[in-house]
Copies of this chain bind each other. A is one copy, B any other.
Amino acid sequence: MTDAAGTHRVLTFVCADRPGIVHALSGALVDAGGNITESQQFSSEDTGRFFIRLQVEADATAERLAAHLDPVARRFEAEWRIDVVGRPMRTLVLVSTAGHCLNDLLFRRRSGQLPIEIPLVLGNHRDLEGLADFYGVPFEARAVTSPETKRAFEQRVLAAVDELGIELVVLARYMQILSPELCERLAGRAINIHHSFLPGFKGANPYRQAHARGVKLIGATAHFVTADLDEGPIIEQEVVRVDHASSARELVSIGQDQESRTLSRAVRWFAEHRVLQDGARTIIFR
């Protein structure tokens, strides 16, 4: 997994669609001594964009690969990125008091199911400090009780992102609305999880509303954070069946399970460079 010759690398490449991209890319890789072991490609009819994710086995160093790929990227005016497969992505987790999502992330990371490392968990409450301690992850709490403390919290987030080389911010049931400025700064690299229902419910206590309406399914949605609360590009969704005997309290418990699973899946895909944005939609190369 070290960034040397002979490693497996993942390449994402996004540009306006036109003939010859695959040929140019594969040519550059052949020239650099690389072999494509996995490939997923998609052309968006909505936006005319071309998306590709390649896994490449190469004897070449990252520099040598980049030297071959750079002219291709410039020719097609592409956004591209190359990384070592399995390199842990540096992840900042924001939490409040509910621990189900954090527990799931930490357990999966330790058992090798999530290619992330977590240099910091930042909470607006201290409740989850013990959980972070158990997994040997630094924890820091800062109360958010006023516009000033909220601003301070968000500045701490941005400082942590810079100082710790954070590549992904996960809102693991962090129950505060981020300011538009922070959303802007974290665009495309912050993931939130929230519950979802058929039909959707606005306002406070959606589980109570869902219960009142007698929904038969409840769900969870993981999405990119945008200033439009609960409305960013969707990364993953899941639902589970409930019935008339499920109390509003049980709906909450069932919902937590889904939130954990759905968030962990979205984080894994992001960390594996499987999530690309296409306007308001996401391309998921599973």
* A38/B30 contact (C-beta < 8 A), A219-B198, A239-B198, A282-B214 known: no
Q: A159 to B71, alpha carbons, bound, how many Å? A: 57
CB pair A42–B244 under 8 Å, yes or no, is: yes
Of residues 113 through 159 on chain A, the ones whose CB sits less than 8 Å from some CB of chain B are 113, 130, 134
CB pair A281–B26 under 8 Å, yes or no, is: no
Judge whether A179 is part of the interface by a CB distance below 8 angstroms: no
CB pair A243–B284 under 8 Å, yes or no, is: yes
Q: Output the least CB separation between A140 and chain B (Å).
A: 20
Q: B-facing mask of A32-45, CB < 8 A → 1, else 0? A: 01111111111111
Most buried by B among A197, A214, A230: A214
Given known contacts A27-B27, A38-B42, A214-B282, what 13 new A-B pairs fall within 8 Å (CB)? A19-B35, A20-B30, A22-B26, A38-B41, A40-B40, A40-B41, A42-B244, A45-B247, A103-B107, A130-B134, A198-B221, A198-B239, A199-B231
* A236/B214 contact (C-beta < 8 A), A36-B41, A42-B38 known: no
CB pair A244–B213 under 8 Å, yes or no, is: no
When distances are taken between beta carbons in the complex, the residues of chain B under 8 Å from A282 are 214, 244
Of residues 12 through 56 on chain A, the ones whose CB sits less than 8 Å from some CB of chain B are 18-20, 22-23, 26-27, 29-30, 33-46, 52
Q: Which residues of chain A have a CB within 8 Å of any CB of chain B?
A: 18-20, 22-23, 26-27, 29-30, 33-46, 52, 99-100, 103, 107, 111-113, 130, 134, 196-200, 211-217, 219, 221, 230-231, 233-239, 243-245, 247, 253, 256-257, 261, 278, 280-284, 286
**7 cross-chain CB contacts under 8 A:** A22-B36, A27-B27, A100-B111, A199-B200, A214-B281, A243-B286, A244-B283
CB pair A23–B19 under 8 Å, yes or no, is: no
**CB-based closest 4 A-B pairs:** A214-B281, A23-B26, A39-B41, A200-B200
Q: A23 to B199, alpha carbons, bound, how many Å? A: 39
Q: Quick one: copies of this chain in the complex? A: 4
CB pair A217–B244 under 8 Å, yes or no, is: no
Q: A257 to B237, alpha carbons, bound, how many Å? A: 17
When distances are taken between beta carbons in the complex, the residues of chain B under 8 Å from A100 are 107, 111
When distances are taken between beta carbons in the complex, the residues of chain B under 8 Å from A45 are 247
Q: Output the least CB separation between A86 and chain B (Å).
A: 12
CB pair A213–B280 under 8 Å, yes or no, is: yes
Most buried by B among A44, A52, A99, A198: A198
